[in-house]
Structure 1
Amino acid sequence: MPRLNISLRAGKSEAYRQAILDSLYRAMRDALTVPEDDQFMTITEHDASNFRHGTAFGVARSEDLVYIQIIVFDTRTPDQKKAFFRRATDLLGEHPGIRPEDVFINIVEAAKENWSVGHGLAQFA
């Protein structure tokens, strides 16, 4: 039951944004064994004045930088997380063509009892 929050600079086409969503969904399915149709993702676009980045850690990022935050159950292994980072970066490079330097991902883990996915119920507690 991952939840993805994707942030990028405004101005990309709908096809570009949909390619991001499609690539990340495929990466989740491949690396994190996410069930079919488990797609809870949003894209937020930002004006240039509200979107900042640097070259920390020696990474030369461009204006095409995409921030990806994925919130998942706290059950994924380090190997699964590494596989997701790699698979997501590879797929985003293929379509819509984002450079590896411009893919910034962080994973936030939450215990299953901290999720309600509808009807005010704690479905996983």
Structure 2
Amino acid sequence: MPLVRIDVDASTSAEVQQKLSDIIYDAMTSIAKVPANDKFMIVSTHAPGDLVYPKEGYLGISYTSGIVFIQITWNAGRTTDVKKAFYRKIADDVHEKTGIRKQDVWISLVDVSPENWSFGNGEMQYAPK
């Protein structure tokens, strides 16, 4: 049920874009227990200057033009500990497999109710019983 949006600078190679997608999907299935094959993602590239972030940093974290914005909309209900482990796995794996700085891995989770999804056919697959 997740919808993942990954926003990167246009200079990000197709190979790195694919690795980002794979890393996030692995964390979703291994840490957040998202079902297999539930991989709906949008990767968008942006021209220089289109990704806006505080040049002076925020909360003690400094950012570069290599920042990766990751937004995941998924069903509510995961614990804080699961979310912390999820964030950590993504940042660690992105750094290890792409060289992108952990500081530049920016993640936002949007928790929604199951009835907020239609996977096609104009149906509410997770309709309340």
Map residues 13-32 of structure 1 onto 2, 5 A cutoff.
13-32=13-32
- TM-score normalised to structure 2 length: 0.92
Unaligned ranges ≥5, structure 1:
none
CA RMSD of aligned residues (A): 0.9
- Find the aligned partners of 1:38 and 1:90 in 2 and give their Cα distance: 22
Map residues 1-125 of structure 1 onto 2, 5 A cutoff.
1-54=1-54, 55-125=57-127
Give the drift of 1:71.
0.4
- TM-score normalised to structure 1 length: 0.95
Give the drift of 1:49.
2.4
Other structure's SS at 1:120 match: coil
Is contact 1:27-1:91 (8 Å) kept? no
Other structure's SS at 2:124 match: coil
The code of the aligned residue for 2:93 comes to L
Query: Which contiguous aligned blocks of 4+ residues in structure 1 show a shift greater than 4 angstroms?
Result: none
In the alignment of these two chains, the number of paired residues is 125
**Per-residue Cα deviation, 1:33-84 (whole angstroms, up to 9, x for no partner):** 1111211011111111212111111111111100000001012111111111
Identity among equivalent positions (%) equals 37
